């Protein structure tokens, strides 16, 4: 694998930024994966992504949704409830060939063994360590 991004928080902004970088790397022909861990894994599996305080205002979220729509990003809701859709972007990344992994340690801690989101690859701890060791570039922390 050329690049593995580690996504650990459930902030919509972090998720969207990480997935946009992963998609662009994939478009450049790189072999790309995203390892979801901690609260990002919990949000992808059975929760929701939240916006950081500085981006939680409606005006900011409307502007992000409007600019994102022009760029072809998935938008959730309409009119006064519109915002960028992190789960929609996860689905798009998967469709474009970005490999999505569920962290084995946090899958276990969260009780997600055998219950990862659709399209996520379950890996054991030895495979995760090999992935991190053999990947050319790992971006993020567990």
User: What pLDDT, on the 0 to 100 scale, is given for residue 76?
Assistant: 82
Quick check: 48 and 83 in contact, CB under 8 A? no
Domains and CATH numbers, the chain: 3-50+86-139 (3.40.1260.10)
Which of 58, 59, 54, 43 lies closest to 7 in space, CA to CA? 43
* Statement: the pTM of the whole predicted model exceeds 0.85: yes
Quick check: 4 and 135 in contact, CB under 8 A? yes
CA distances 53 to 13, 56, 61, 66, 97, Å, are 11, 5, 11, 19, 32
| pLDDT tens-place values along the chain, 142 residues long | 999 999 999 999 999 999 999 999 999 999 999 999 999 999 999 989 998 888 777 788 788 888 888 888 888 877 766 888 899 999 999 999 999 999 999 999 999 988 999 999 999 999 999 999 999 999 999 8
Which of 53, 36, 50 lies closest to 122 in space, CA to CA? 36
Chain centroid to CA 111: how far?
19
């Amino acid at each position: 694998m050329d690049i593995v991004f580690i996504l650990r928080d459930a902030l919509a902004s972090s998720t969207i930024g990480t997935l946009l970088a992963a998609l662009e790397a994939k478009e450049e022909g790189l072999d790309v994966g995203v390892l979801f861990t901690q609260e990002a894994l919990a949000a992808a599996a059975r929760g929701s992504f939240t916006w950081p305080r500085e981006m939680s205002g409606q005006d900011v979220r409307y502007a992000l949704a409007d600019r994102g729509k022009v760029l072809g990003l998935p938008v959730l809701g309409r009119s006064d409830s519109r915002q960028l859709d992190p789960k929609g972007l996860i689905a798009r990344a998967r469709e474009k060939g970005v490999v999505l992994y569920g962290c084995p340690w946090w899958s276990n801690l969260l009780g997600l063994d055998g219950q990862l989101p659709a399209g996520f690859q379950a890996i054991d701890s030895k495979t995760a360590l090999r992935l991190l060791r053999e990947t050319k570039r790992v971006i993020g922390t567990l």
